[in-house]
């Protein structure tokens, strides 16, 4: 029997377990015994994963939110089983907005004998509990498990607390492969036709990476791949978005690599930056048509500025090199607060939220697409879903051009300045308004982004700290 046929048989068998699965688990993995038996292995494995957000704080325990056997184990344990777990990870210092611990999605394979898998996929051998004697591993690395997930999307419906939805037909015969390049999420590519993004750290509420591409698809905006299918958990009043299946843009190159290649070849990036500005403006225009656009009134401006000031002060406490520039940086935020206090307001709408060159793809014909609408994963989901000024996305892209230029030696500041101007010109051509026409708001958002970069680089990549610090010096010295 072929692998695909075996998967279809396993899927049919697992359907008979759905009635039991509605209790959030199927036998033999009863919720009382399951998690304690896996906890020793997870305690070692979870903190080492790139998608784990709680690095630096000890893990003190786990609590089970939901457990579902997507592929039930056979009696002999020879075939693979697939456990879907939603697990809350408790740490010694609970961090807002979830002081009781962040919730993570785990897709765990269970076998008696493992097939050939990457070394990092192994979690360990289970020594006690209902699965004693079997081996636990990262299920996404197993082609049979990956096939099974795609079959679930082909046959949408509910399985316990999991709900699978599909918007488009899914072709057969798509061979899966795991992409080993993610940080906050995990991805599977199916036959260079589809890509499945699995969200690891999940929150109640629709993830913007599902919500916004669906809205853009309804508006007919072709700049963002429309979701083909998705799945959610119904363990809380609001659904938890668990994964999104989208078209895979075969042959497309990301903007970051294209920019670095242009720098290495000694050529400018102006046509690309201009076209990328147009693409950004088209996405913003479509989002404004699809979703509400409340004004950024005085109270919301005050709240916006307060958040920027709070992040600046927190970053200065963590990175002493930032302290001398705080007064100059504060003037950028004070200027926005002053304008807001005089009655000046700005438009707000849904935006990308974490836009940079690495979140863009250019097809072979030169067409630009925007991807990864999740927003900054470190920020609370309600904040990522709130309407904001479009210049926040623009500021993120302007900072990205600066990063690209600084990564090349010798540093070419003029290259970055020309790209920034071309991007804004392309944006203005499509939107009808130039983001540079709101200098106070643009400077404040670019300052806020640079402060975020300083904190990130100080914690994770100290060698890169001079890149955002150069922007800090420039922005602190800018006229108020």
Per-residue pLDDT tens for 348-392? 999 999 999 999 999 999 999 999 999 988 788 888 999 999 999
Share of the chain above pLDDT 90, in %: 75
Task: Tell me the residue length of the chain.
Answer: 480
Within a 10 A sphere around the Cβ of 271, how many other Cβ atoms? Answer: 11
Domains, the chain, in order of start with CATH, read 3-156 (no CATH), 177-247 (3.30.200), 253-477 (3.90.1200.10)
Assign 94 to helix, strand or coil: coil
Least reliable range by pLDDT among 250-264, 292-306, 350-364: 292-306
pLDDT digits (tens, 9 = 90+) for 209-222: 999 999 999 999 99
DSSP letter, residue 227: P
The string of pLDDT tens digits covering residues 429-456 is 999 999 999 999 999 999 999 999 999 9
Q: Give me the DSSP letters along 310-336.
A: HHHHHHHHH-GGGGGGHHHHHHHHHHH
Whole-model pTM? 0.88
Cα-based torsion angle of the residue sequence 183, 187, 189, 193 in order, rounded to the nearest 10 degrees:
-100
Residue written as tokens 């704080």? 57
């Amino acid at each position: 029997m072929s692998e695909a046929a075996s998967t279809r048989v396993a899927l049919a068998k697992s359907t008979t377990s759905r009635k039991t699965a509605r209790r959030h688990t199927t036998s033999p993995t009863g919720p009382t015994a399951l998690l304690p038996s896996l906890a020793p292995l997870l305690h070692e494995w979870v903190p080492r994963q790139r998608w784990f957000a709680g690095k630096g704080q000890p893990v003190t325990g786990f609590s089970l939110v939901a457990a579902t056997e997507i592929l039930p184990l056979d009696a002999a344990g020879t075939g693979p089983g697939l456990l879907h777990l939603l697990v809350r990870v408790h740490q010694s210092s609970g961090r807002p907005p979830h002081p009781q611990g962040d919730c993570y999605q785990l897709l765990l394979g269970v076998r008696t004998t493992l097939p050939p898998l990457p070394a990092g996929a192994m979690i360990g051998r289970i020594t006690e509990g209902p699965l004693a004697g079997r081996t636990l591993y990262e299920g996404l690395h197993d082609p049979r498990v990956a096939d099974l997930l795609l079959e679930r999307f082909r046959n949408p419906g509910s399985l316990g607390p999991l709900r699978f939805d599909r918007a488009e037909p899914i072709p057969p015969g798509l061979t899966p492969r795991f992409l080993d390049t993610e940080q906050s999420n995990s991805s599977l590519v199916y036959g260079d036709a589809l890509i499945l993004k699995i969200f690891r750290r999940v929150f109640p509420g629709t993830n913007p990476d599902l919500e916004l591409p669906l809205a853009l698809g309804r508006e007919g905006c072709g700049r963002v791949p429309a979701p083909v299918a998705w799945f959610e958990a119904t363990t809380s009043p609001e659904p938890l978005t668990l994964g999104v299946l989208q078209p895979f843009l075969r042959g497309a190159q990301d903007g970051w690599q294209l920019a670095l290649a242009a720098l290495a070849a000694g050529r400018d990036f102006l046509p690309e930056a201009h076209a990328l500005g147009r693409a950004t403006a088209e996405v913003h225009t479509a989002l404004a048509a699809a979703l509400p656009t409340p004004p950024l009134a005085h109270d919301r401006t005050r709240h916006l500025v307060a958040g920027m000031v709070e992040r600046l002060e927190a970053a200065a406490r963590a990175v002493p090199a930032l302290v001398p520039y705080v007064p100059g940086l504060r003037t950028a935020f004070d200027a926005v607060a002053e304008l807001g206090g005089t009655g000046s307001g700005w438009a707000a709408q849904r935006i990308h939220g974490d836009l940079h060159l690495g979140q863009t793809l250019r097809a072979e014909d030169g067409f630009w697409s925007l991807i990864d609408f999740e927003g900054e994963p470190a920020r609370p989901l309600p904040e990522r879903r709130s309407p904001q000024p479009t210049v926040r996305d623009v500021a993120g892209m302007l900072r990205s051009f600066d990063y690209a230029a600084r990564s090349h030696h010798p540093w070419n500041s003029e290259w970055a300045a020309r790209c920034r101007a071309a991007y804004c010109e392309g944006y203005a051509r499509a939107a009808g308004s130039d983001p540079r026409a709101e200098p106070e708001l643009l400077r404040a958002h670019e300052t806020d982004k640079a402060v975020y970069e300083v904190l990130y680089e100080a914690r994770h990549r100290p060698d890169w700290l001079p890149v955002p610090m150069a922007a800090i010096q420039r922005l602190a010295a800018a006229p108020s």
